[in-house]
Each structure stands twice: as structure tokens, then as C-alpha cells.
Structure 1
Amino acid sequence: MIKVKSRAGESVEQMVKRFKRMCGKEGIIRDIKRISYYEKPSEKNRRRRRKAARSAKFSSRY
């Protein structure tokens, strides 16, 4: 769970911006968008295979 405490002299807009940045780093928004609609099992497998291929390609570079 992400908690944002107010810093000295920090405005509400800055706190919201910091909260959004933390959510982006944690991947919360991406997960919510992915879960918000039904994904067929074949689409899940395809997405996982693409992710694995992308990570294998990246790891083979270095």
C-alpha cells in the first residue's frame, strides 16, 4: 500500500504528483487497466510469450 505523507511546505498538487509517480513505479495503474476487462486465456498466453521473448532478447544483448 502506498502512503504519501505531506512534506514541509508541500502543496496538495505536489503530493498528488508524487503519489501518481509512486503508483507508476509500482505498476498499480497498469494492473488495474489490465484487470478492468476480460482477457481471454489465449490472449494472456500470447502476452506472456511476448514478454518472455522481449526479456530474452534484452538479456541476450548484455
Structure 2
Amino acid sequence: MSFTLPGLLPWRFRIVLIGQQIVLEASAEGQQLSTFLEPGGSRIQCGYDLIDAPQCALIN
């Protein structure tokens, strides 16, 4: 599932299931960020929080 959030273009978000963990990934212009999403948590709020305070940066 891929989506965007108002005010955060060009960031694209997607939800990934890894085992029993729900991960929210964000990517834009070669940058990739990710964070765990709590079950029942808001993917929208988590997306804004991820961009404001990244927890994990994936470096290629």
C-alpha cells in the first residue's frame, strides 16, 4: 500500500509487513526512512512524525 501525505511532497509512504511487525517506509529523492507502526496506530500521524524525527535511515 503506497500513499502520500499533504504538505510532504515528494515523500511517498508505504506500509510493509515484516513478520509480525508493521513498518512504515518513506522515500524521496534517494532518501529512505522507516519506523515501526504500532497496531491500531495512525499511519498518517506516524508519517508526519517520521519525517519530523527520523528513527532509521537506510543508506545504499
Q: TM-score of the superposition, structure 1-length normalised? A: 0.28
| Structure with the higher fraction of residues in helix conformation | 1
TM-score, normalised on structure 2? 0.29
Structure number with bigger Rg: 1
